[in-house]
Every structure is written in structure tokens, then in C-alpha cells.
Amino acid sequence: MASPTSDRTVALSLQLSQAHRALRRRIDDLRSDPGAGRPDDDTLTTHCLAFCDALTAHHEGEDDGLFAQLLRERPDLAPTIARLVEDHELISGILTRVRELALRAAGSAAPEREAVRRELDGLSAIMESHFRYEERTIAAALDTTAPAGDWPDPVFRPLGG
């Protein structure tokens, strides 16, 4: 029978995968938004800004919660976590660009909205690579790491809507 601590780390691994699935769905929805071509429809802008906030909160939660705790338990993961934090910084720069483009595209014609879509396509590709690496390395570590004591709650920030 599994111990409560190992059950908790496996649950964290599942929570990580679920958060990534939710973020993948959200960016896919943004990229295929049928109302994005109408200049009077600011749905794309609103949803872009909400998505950027959700991804930022997810990465901040990982950096401040999950990764910080994992480093205490598994110092051998320092190079992996450093790479993931570096990815988060790169993605943060792209999110800043997406926000700027989305705000500029609000109420504008198709070319500005197409610039947002192109940026989202690039972001999606980078996110996918990042998520796959994170799931291979961090989820695997969570599945095999029994924490020495209680991990603070929460090590993830919940994703809004």
C-alpha cells in the first residue's frame, strides 16, 4: 500500500499534467477563435489577456511553490529546475509581446489580429516543448519522491476559469 506522502507526490504529478492540459486547451481555443476576424469583437483580446495571466500564474506557482519544494527534497534536480525557470523567463517575454499585440488589436482590423495569432502559434510550440520536458522530468521526479514532511499547500496556484 502506498504511503500518504507518496500518494501526495503522485497527486502533484497528476495535478501538473492536468494544469498543462488545461493551458493547452485554452491556447488552442484562442488560436481557433472564430470571432477573431471581426473588428468589433474584442473576444480575442480579452481571452488573450486572461490566458497570459493564467500561464503567468501557473509558472509563478511552479517557481515559488513546486520547484522550490522539490529543490529542498531533490537538490540533484537543480540543473533541470534552472532550465525550466529559464524557459519560464523566455515564455514571460513572449507573453508580454502577446499582451501588447492583443491590446493593439482590440477593435482593429484583421492584420493586427493576425499578428496576435502568429505570436500565439509560436507561443504554443514553445509551451508544448516546455510542458513535455517538464512532464518527463518533474512529473517523473514527483512520482518517485516521497517528501520528508509536509509540503506547504498549495504548491500550485489554481488556474482561473
Query: What does the pLDDT read at residue 7?
Result: 61
Share of the chain above pLDDT 90, in %: 46
CATH class of 4-143: mainly alpha
Of the two residues 6 and 137, the one the predictor is more confident about is 137
Question: For residue 81, what pLDDT is reported?
Answer: 97
Is residue 3 over pLDDT 50?
A: no
Helices 4-31, 110-134: axis angle to 10 degrees equals 160
Q: How confident is the model at residue 10 (pLDDT cuts 50, 70, 90)?
A: low
- Report which of 26, 41, 50 is spatially closest to residue 113, judged by C-alpha positions: 41
pLDDT, tens only, 72-90:
888 999 999 999 999 999 9
- Per residue in 50-70, pLDDT (tens digit) is 999 999 999 998 998 889 888
pLDDT of 105 higher than 60: yes
One-letter amino acid of 71: L
Q: Is the peptide bond before 154 cis (omega within 30 degrees of 0)?
A: yes
Question: How confident is the model at residue 2, as a pLDDT?
Answer: 44
Average pLDDT of the segment spanning 5-30: 83
Q: How confident is the model at residue 124 (pLDDT cuts 50, 70, 90)?
A: very high
Residue 111 pLDDT: 77
pTM of the predicted protein model = 0.84
pLDDT at position 13: 83
**Whole-number Å distance between alpha carbons of 99 and 91:** 12
CA distance 138 to 78: 11
pLDDT of residue 8: 60
